[in-house]
Structure 1
């Protein structure tokens, strides 16, 4: 298939993850939202315990000393700020103002010059400069129009583009809970290979590395239950029931994800 067909298939598969309206109406809070506090904790851990996995290696080896980094879907900076000693200027894009505030606070403490852009990529791409390297970690499963997203990322990068994503949709682990509480199945695709195929079809010289995720998804059964209540559109008061169900279904501890690093270097002009 060509890039247009692969992009359409990605969009259709991602749209199949939509939560049925009847179930969504029961939600006490947005099941797709992300906690700035939880992401902030992960960023602080990444700063305290630098990751030596392929994503950070491929980003670091292509970043000139005091070069510029474009971080799309940055959150509080877990995938870029660990390179603080090498960064001349960080340009961060995120849809969440709270996430960008967290990044700015940390960057200021670390002495990293930063400019933030609040909005969705590539809608705000025309505001961002071209950077030496770009990183977009754990974002693509939120991107229906992935071809436009990748083209804009490539177009704003002089040297290397790096993506990181789990092998499967990040909500896949909850499929048994959807079936148990709602009698609803969850999709299987898209998966990382679908992103790789599209990037290759767009003409990028894609390279791929895979590893076990360095972090546990949850530090406790209670943390899992609270998260699952929100994601599966259940009242928070059912957290204990969810925890019991997770154990009964053999879902605890949650197996670690497989994380995929996708990267390519820009072709010489």
Structure 2
């Protein structure tokens, strides 16, 4: 099996069993906006990590940036003072609005593109740097996605992802509540192997994200985790107890499932296929 096929197969294994989804009172595919906005605000105020360092270096003091899966701007906006124009692509209009609010406050000239990459690539101009943070685990077909990243970057592509699939953080809870084993892969190492199969040789930087409270209160974490586990509202107390049993600090609640603290930054040279 090729590395690309292995990546696709491992992601497919994350599908939730149909009988569990059918019984779920709410969608388990939760997008906790508060996590994205709080993270963006924290990183803008205090830039940190190998992805920011790589972005700053690639901008060569000034340059344009294309942010794929931009969310509220945690990956690109920390480098606002070095960005001459910023294009944000995201499938979530609410998060694009949050991005625009922050970009405007920072005085960054920006453009918003609603849609999924690479489907909307034809509507986007190339940039000096293309950055894509915490998106790859949602991309089963890696070839066109990665090739479009490379083809739209004049200088550098920067991809950030958790070292392990972020949903592994609640695997023990799936076992506890549903009695099923969830997958362990793929990992950032698998992503790098798949990229090499495409002829991309990424530089790899491993780093650790500082701990932070990603929810204002423990109850928010409990509610999001409950929905991710396809459990009803009346199971909230049981989920809270299970989270405490896992050692989760109720006074400093992290998000379980959006990204991990052990982080990998993959970067490589761009090769624009469109006009500059």
Counterpart in the other structure of 1:260 = 264
Distance, in Å, in 2 between the alignment partners of 1:163 and 1:189 is 18
Contact 1:161 1:264 in 2 (8 A): yes
> Take 1:105 and 1:217, find their aligned partners in 2: how far apart are those partners?
22
Deviation, structure 1 residue 268: 10
Residues 191 and 39 (structure 1 numbering): CA distance in 2 closer, same or farther, change over 3 Å?
A: same
Per the TM alignment, residue 32 of structure 1 is displaced from its structure 2 partner at its CA by 1.7
Q: Could you tell me the TM-score, scaled by structure 2's length?
A: 0.89
Moved more, 11-20 or 216-225: 216-225
Flag structure 1 segments of 5+ consecutive residues without an equivalent: none
Pairing 1:26–2:23 present: yes
Displacement of 1:65:
3.5
- Residue 81 of structure 2 aligns to a residue whose secondary structure is coil
Between the aligned partners of 1:147 and 1:217, the Cα distance in structure 2 is 35
In structure 1, what is the equivalent of residue 219 of structure 2? 222
Tell me, yes or no, if the aligned pair for 1:163 and 1:261 is still in contact at 8 Å: yes
1:129–1:215 CA distance, 2 compared to 1 (3 A): farther
5 Å matches for 1:153-168? 153-168=149-164
The answer to which of 218-227 and 92-101 deviates more is: 218-227
Equivalent pair of 1:71/1:136 in contact (CA under 8 Å): yes
Contact 2:152–2:270, Cα closer than 8 Å, also in 1: no
Change (3 A) 1:120 1:178: same
Give the structure 1 partner of residue 177 of structure 2: 181
Offset at residue 189 of structure 1 (A): 1.1
Shift of 1:147: 1.5
Judge conservation of contact 1:143–1:149 (CA < 8 Å) in 2. Answer: yes
User: Which runs of no fewer than 5 residues in structure 2 stay unpaired?
Assistant: none
Residues 177 and 268 (structure 1), Cα distance of their counterparts in 2 relative to 1, 3 Å cut: closer
Question: How far does the alpha carbon of each residue in 1:60-80 deviate from its partner, in whole angstroms, 9 at most, with x for none?
Answer: 101133311010000011110
- For the pair 1:235 / 2:232, whether they are aligned, the reply is yes
CA shift for structure 1 position 28: 2.9
Query: Is the contact between residue 65 and residue 88 of structure 1 (CA under 8 Å) also seen in structure 2?
Result: no
After TM superposition, give the deviation of residue 230 of structure 1 in Å: 1.2
| 2:93 maps to which of 97, 114, 128 | 97
Could you list the per-position Cα deviations for residues 38-73 of structure 1 after superposition, in whole angstroms to 9, with x for gaps in the alignment?
31121111112221x111001110113331101000
* Matching residue of 1:38: 35
State the Cα deviation string for residues 221-261 of structure 1 (Å, max 9, x = none).
4343222101111113322111112333x343479631001
Is 1:115–2:111 an aligned residue pair? yes
1:5-154 correspondence to structure 2 within 5 Å: 5-51=2-48, 53-154=49-150
What is the aligned-residue RMSD (CA, Å)?
A: 2.0
Deviations 1:2-21 (A, max 9, x none): xxx22221111101000111
Q: Which residue of the partner structure matches residue 206 of structure 1?
A: 202
CA contact (8 A) 1:91 1:116 kept: yes
Residue 241 (structure 2) aligns with: 244
Query: Take 2:102 and 2:210, find their aligned partners in 1: how far apart are those partners?
Result: 22
